Amino acid sequence: MNKKFIKLFICPKCKLNKLDVSFEILKIKKAKKSENIEILRCKKGHVFRINNGIPNFVINNKLESKIYDDVWKNNRLSKYKNKDIKLYKKKFQSFANIKKLNLQNKLVLDAGCGEGRFSWLLSNLGAKKVIAVDFSNAALNRAKYQSANQSKIIFIKADLNNLPFKENTFDLVISFGVIHHNKYPEKLFHILSKFTKPGGIFSIYLYRKYGMSFIQDMIRPITKKMNRDKLHHFCELFGFTVTPSKKMIFDIPNILKKIRWIDVLRINMITFEGLTSTYWHRFSIREIKNWYKKNNFKIISFTRHISMSGLRLKK
């Protein structure tokens, strides 16, 4: 863990500004041996382990972490290459839709980075530093592996409801496909918005109301309780995974996409993630516009699917 990055963090337990990095020898009882452990410690003695160069600021382990570990482990590993920057920039703008994006000397927060495709992109587009945060070990390990040559990205494990940063820290905050999986989405929006500097941009992507599968909504109470390995195997067989599988015997979603008029229940939009996620909220554009307004943002762009970007106003 690079010590020069420590000044960006505060303790998520007591909110003290000072964190120190050090090495300690901790005794592992089961293994009956000592192990060198890199840690972060605040002035009050709260300790956070660093695993594979990734600080773990999660205070309480939750079921969602395990669920998203399963989701990412079952996805095909993407590979980011410099020749694909234009492609990923186009994907980024389909969410953010920010005209004249200037990242020079900017500090960026990717809140819910997943496997890090946009953290990697924004680093390549000139950001000073990108702090990539996720709750899933599997996602962070994939993201770190794929961005091994990007020294400007710092990966941390943390709960978005309790991030280890001061307010008004980042020039750009993005959170794509994450807030709608939180128990209290509007509350999380409010929390993340506070990390945006006055004059900075907060950009999000959420599921649209009435834009998802009706069948998925009906069966989620059952599938959330099912064995996830068996459920994923079923999704692989019938095409309900994010990436194609060699095990697939009948690609139901792709067939229904070609004859959309008959798919009134939107079965083609069922996914393994949708069947297992603890929370799965959807919103209208009006609702999200109200969130931005209540948190002192001027909306600078939005799309119908729903993504929205706002400029934080100076009080």
Here the contacts of 222-226 (C-beta below 8 Å, separation 24 or greater) are 223/275, 223/276, 224/275, 224/276, 224/277, 224/278
pLDDT value at position 125?
93
* 19 inside domain: yes
**Residues 245 and 308 placed together within one structural domain of the fold:** no
Same domain, 197 and 224: no
Does the pLDDT of residue 28 top 60, yes or no? no
Q: Are residues 267 and 290 in the same domain?
A: no
- State percent of the chain over pLDDT 70: 91
Mean pLDDT value across residues 93-117: 93
Half-sphere exposure of 172 (CA within 13 A, CB side): 26
Q: Does residue 197 sit in the same domain as residue 173?
A: yes
> In whole numbers, what is the pLDDT of the chain averaged over residues?
87
Pair (290, 268) in one structural domain: no
pLDDT tens for each residue of 171-224: 999 999 999 999 999 999 999 999 999 999 999 999 998 777 888 989 999 999
Q: What is the pLDDT of residue 241?
A: 82
**Shared domain check, 100 and 160:** yes
Stretch among 3-7, 31-35, 46-50, 52-56 having the lowest mean pLDDT: 31-35
pLDDT of residue 27: 53
Phi, psi of 185 (to 5 degrees): -60, -45
Report the pLDDT value the prediction gives residue 256, as an integer from 0 to 100: 79
- Total tally of structural domains belonging to the chain: 3
Residue 73 in any domain: the answer is: no
Gap between the Cα atoms of 290 and 221, Å rounded: 30
Residue 269 lies in a domain: yes
pLDDT of residue 314: 86
With tokens 């963090």, the residue in question is: 9
262: confidence class by pLDDT, cuts 50, 70, 90:
confident
71, part of any domain: no
Distance CA 183, CA 197 (A): 26
Q: What integer pLDDT is reported at residue 228 of this predicted model?
A: 87
197 and 287 in a single domain? The answer is yes
128 plus 11 within the same structural domain: no
Do 202 and 218 reside in the same domain of the chain?
no
User: In terms of residue numbers, what domain contains 233?
Assistant: 214-276
Q: Which of 71, 169, 52, 166 is nearest to 112 (CA)?
A: 71
Look at 110-114, 201-205, 233-237, 240-244 and tell me which has the smallest mean pLDDT: 240-244
What is the predicted pLDDT for the residue at 107? 97
